Amino acid sequence: MRLRAHLATLLLASMAGMTAGSAPALAAAPGFDLSPAQQNRIRGAEDPAAIKAIPSNFAFVAKNALTVGIVVGHPPISTYASDARTVVGFDPDLAQLIADSLGKHLNVVILAWPDWPLSLASGKVDAVISNVTVTEERKAKFDFSTYRQDQIGFYVRTDSPIRQIAEPKDIAGLRIITDAGTNQEKILLEWDRQNVARGLKPVSVQYYDDDAVRSVALQSGRADAILSVNAALAYDAARQGKTRQVGTLSGGWPRTAEVAVTSRKGSGLAEPLTIALNNLIQNGQYRSVLARWHLESEAIAKAATNPPGLPKS
């Protein structure tokens, strides 16, 4: 508790001068457009094959619209624009392209992460596009159309002596921040278990609910590295210039994991979504959107409906 209180004090000190009720300005990393206008957003055309595949009895939440649930999390995946209202990022851009492909307007519903399963199952949204990884457990309740690799990354301070983290032995004895209840936590704990079994020093795992406090922990030297979503950490590195990547791996290690557009189980929407995604991959617009948000390394070659997911834990 003393550590957390100390870090919170440092964070508050860094925010001194803000007026009551004000929000800190969101600074874009070089090469990222966080303006609400999004003038360079890529738009698509109707995809006849995808439209034809929509079941005749599928009832969209709103007439002539594709209603997509998005959890506003971290840039460049999804975040608020500089007006603190408009949702921008790769997931909103992809949602727009898919809506265009289906001949629909895009209607975005902002969700909290714990709420997306119920929002989808209850019919509040037609689909969820929010970095949801395909797992066998989730496949029992939802359908999936894949669109991006699930990558996680190790990041350290720019002046850290750590040059590479590529395998379990590289983390022995380190103090590593990660996210509770996530794939990255499971991987970190498994790597640590293997190390301890081999007689190597254990990892000291740290958890923080606040990203700013997490950053302070790393920069103050109270942690050696962060293991989290690679896209978000890469954005922070580009924006602040205080961290650097020392390794990446699949979020499903040792298996390959992919994130997917999520729809209601048996609704019939997954196949049209997959058709639309594959057309976007083939015509190049998919990669153009990835490039717009500097996520080219997470591209997939082909979208799939309900592929094998990560096994049940």
Kindly report, residue by residue over 178-226, the tens digit of the pLDDT: 999 888 999 999 999 999 999 999 999 999 988 889 999 999 999 999 9
The percent of residues in the chain predicted with pLDDT above 70, rounded, is 90
In the chain, what are the domains? 48-150+257-298 (3.40.190.10), 151-250 (3.40.190.10)
**CB count in 10 Å sphere of residue 121:** 13
Based on the number of CB atoms within 10 Å of its own CB, is 311 exposed (0-12), middle (13-18) or buried (19 or more)? exposed
Tens-digit pLDDT profile for residues 227-268: 999 988 988 888 889 999 999 999 989 988 999 999 999 999
- For the cut 80, the answer to whether the pLDDT of residue 118 exceeds it is yes
In this structure, of 22-31, 163-172, 277-286, the range with the lowest mean pLDDT score is 22-31
What is the CA 98 to chain-centroid distance, rounded? 18
What pLDDT is stored for residue 32 in this prediction?
A: 86
Q: What span, in angstroms and rounded, lies between the C-alpha atoms of 254 and 127? A: 29
> Confidence band (pLDDT; 50, 70, 90) for 173?
very high
Helix, strand, coil percent content, the chain, rounded in steps of 5: 35, 20, 45
Dihedral, 104, 110, 115, 118 alpha carbons, nearest 10: -20
What pLDDT is stored for residue 238 in this prediction?
A: 84
Phi-psi sector, 74: left (phi>0), alpha (psi -120 to 50), beta: beta
> Confidence band (pLDDT; 50, 70, 90) for 22?
very low
Tell me the mean pLDDT in the region 300-304: 97
Q: What span, in angstroms and rounded, lies between the C-alpha atoms of 5 and 226? A: 20
> Confidence band (pLDDT; 50, 70, 90) for 25?
very low
> Confidence band (pLDDT; 50, 70, 90) for 313?
low
* Mean pLDDT value across the chain: 89
What pLDDT is stored for residue 74 in this prediction?
A: 81
Tens-digit pLDDT profile for residues 32-83: 899 999 999 999 999 999 999 999 999 999 999 999 999 998 889 999 999 9
Tell me the mean pLDDT in the region 277-302: 95
